[in-house]
Amino acid sequence: MRYLHQFVHLMLTLRIASENRIPATILSLLCEKDFQEGGQTIAGEKFIESTRDCYLAYLPEQIEARSFELVSVSLERCHDRKGPPYLKLRSQYARHDFVGKLTDEFVKLRLALRQELEFVLEDAGYAITAYDNPYFLDGQAVDGARSLSINANAPEWLINIDGAPVMIWDRPKNEKGAQKIIRQPARMLEIDGDDAIEIVKV
């Protein structure tokens, strides 16, 4: 179990296949990133194992209600030699006392970016993992400071691109009484009243 107050920084990374799922303001940030071998990283401690079909829509609000603010949003098209290109949508939050100087351009776009991020999160359940990492500032680990990293992949869409809800069969469609219902996520990642970061059944 981890608690939000143990962290000074939070990074949420979504892996999405199609540009059609990305709203306009976020899409305007798109840049290309080539596949790179290796890289200098320090492995964090995984404390949430890969869990499918988790709803994240309430997470930004829960984070910001606890002295964090959105400090960065980026969108990269990643070219991986092991598979087709994909989009990496990353949002970063910092605790108020760890917020550095933000660019005027980001401040101007921040409200729109935050709203659009919520739209993306509302549209799917994701397979998530979460890590407790060291926190780096200017390339140096900050003593006693930790960073929470949440990786979200394999979206199971709840909303079609045309805005209509995704419909699924409530049982095998050849069974008697089978009918289509609106698809709902099975789980939700939330921060509870004690700041605990946990997965709960919907």
Cβ-Cβ contacts under 8 Å for 111 (sequence gap 6 or more): none
Q: Please, is 73 exposed, middle or buried when counting C-beta atoms within 10 Å of its C-beta (0-12, 13-18, 19+)?
A: buried
Which residue stretches of the chain have pLDDT < 50? 37-40
Give dist(CA 183, CA 166) in Å, integer: 6
Please compute, for residue 5, the number of CA atoms within 13 A of its CA located in the half-sphere on the CB side: 6
Distance of alpha carbon 10 from its chain centroid, rounded? 10
Please compute, for residue 76, the number of CA atoms within 13 A of its CA located in the half-sphere on the CB side: 12
Q: What is the pLDDT of residues 153-170, one digit of tens each?
A: 999 999 999 999 999 999
Q: The whole model's pTM is what?
A: 0.91
